[in-house]
Amino acid sequence: MIHFVLLISRQGKVRLTKWYSPYSQKERTKVIRELSGLILARGPKLCNFVEWRGYKVVYRRYASLYFCMCIDADDNELEILEIIHHFVEILDRYFGSVCELDLIFNFHKAYYILDEILIAGELQESSKKTVARLIAAQDSLVEAAKEQASSVSNMIAQVTK
């Protein structure tokens, strides 16, 4: 299974973290520090796998962002690379040629998308279309709820409460 997902920028800034195995906050900080040191130091044209504490970390660089996933030693590395690519393609489709800034300012959206793809460290949805549809449906629901909340009658109800 996937133990965690990290998005790290080339400067070592963390852009997204998702933990599927229980790590305490302290361990998380330590893991991120260790791995960003390990991965950012690797040059281009090397293999995309790093052994780390008995696990394997599969990473791939897209522009200035490193997408890293930590897996068990007997998991399939190439499959994870495909999952990473899958995730990136979905992000790309959703944001329209995604860039780092999109992820910075829509950080919860990125989480919702990731949650549609992976649950509990397992790949959930292998169809890009379906994910796009699900996310769009959620967005419209949320928008509708927001509109309702900001409607005039609602505001009046709140003030007079």
Partner 1 sequence: MAAASASSSSPSLIDTLFQRSLDDLIRVLRSSSSAALEAAAIARALDEIRREIRSPDLDTKVVALQKLTYLASLHHFDMSWAAFHALELLPSTSLPQPRAAYLAASLSFHPSSTDLLPLATHQLRKHLAPSPSNSPAVAAPALHLLALASSPDLARHLAPDLLPILSNQSSNPLRPKAVATALRVLAVCPDTAPVLFKPLVECLSLSSDPRAVSAAIGAFCELALAAPDPSPYLPLAPEFYRLLVDSRNNWVTIKVLKIFARLAPLEPRVAARIVDPVCQLLRRFTAKSLVFECIRTVFSSLLDHDAAVRLAVDKIKEFLASDDDPNLRYLGLQALNMLGPAHSWAVEDSREVVIQSLNDTDTNIRREALRLIMGMLCDSNVVDICNMLIKYAIKSDPEFANEILDEVLATCGRNVYELIVDFDWYVSLLGEMVRNPHFAKGDEIERQLVDVGLRVRDARPELIRVARNLLIDPALLGNPFLCKVLSAAAWVSGEYVEFSRNPLELVEALLQPRTNLLPPFVRAVYVQAVFKILAYSFISFIEQIQAGESLAIGNSLNQRGGKQEGSDLVAAKSSSDQNNAFEIGDGVATADKAILFDSIEKQETFKHESISCLLNLIETVVGPLSECGEVEVQERARNVLGLILIIRGTQFWNIEEGHELTRDNKITKMVELMESAFSEELGPVSTNAQKRVSVPEGLILNENLSELLDILGDDDINPCASVSFSLRNHHSTETNQDSATAIEPNSLLAEHRKRHGLYYLPMDKDKSESNDYPCANEPLLPVSHGEDTEDIVKLPAQSLIPEKAKPTKPRPVVIRLDEGDGVSSSNLSTAKESKDDMLSGAIRDVLLRNEKKPSSTHKTSSDRTSQRRENDGSENSELISQQKESNSFGDREHGKSSSRKSRHHHKERIESSGQNRDNEEKSHRHSAKSSHHHRRHKHRQRGDAPLDIVPQSPVIQDFLL
| Chain residues 90-109 in contact with partner 1, contact rule CB under 8 A | 104-105, 107-108
Q: Which of 146, 151, 156, 157 binds partner 1 (CB under 8 A)?
A: 146
DSSP 111-161: HHHHHHHEETTEE----HHHHHHHHHHHHHHHHHHHHHHHSHHHHHHHHH-
50 binds partner 1 (CB under 8 A): yes
Q: For 67, phi and psi rounded to 5 degrees?
A: -100, 120
- Tracing tokens 């995730």 back to the chain, one arrives at 87
By CB under 8 A, residue 51 contacts partner 1: yes
Q: Does 18 bind partner 1 (CB under 8 A)?
A: yes
- Decide if residue 156 touches partner 1 (CB under 8 A): no
Contact window for partner 1 (CB under 8 A) among 62-70, 71-79, 89-97: 71-79
- Spatial distance between the Cα atoms of 28 and 5, rounded to a whole number of angstroms: 11
Longest dimension (CA), the chain: 64
Question: By CB under 8 A, is residue 145 in contact with partner 1?
Answer: yes
In this complex, which beta carbon is closest to partner 1, that of residue 77 or of residue 92? Answer: 77
Size of the site for partner 1 (CB under 8 A): 57
Q: How far apart are CA 135 and CA 104, in angstroms?
A: 18
Helix (H/G/I), strand (E/B), else coil: 41 = coil
Query: 108: which residues sit within 8 A by CB, 6+ positions away?
Result: none
Q: Binding of partner 1 at residue 157 (CB under 8 A)? A: no
CA distance linking residue 29 with residue 99, whole number of Å: 25
Piece of the chain touching partner 1 by CB under 8 A; list 24-32, 62-70, 87-95: 24-32
- Residues binding partner 1 (CB under 8 A): 1, 13-20, 22, 24-25, 28-29, 32, 43, 45-51, 72, 74, 76-79, 81-82, 104-105, 107-108, 111-112, 115-116, 119-120, 122-126, 130, 134, 137-138, 141-142, 144-146, 148-149
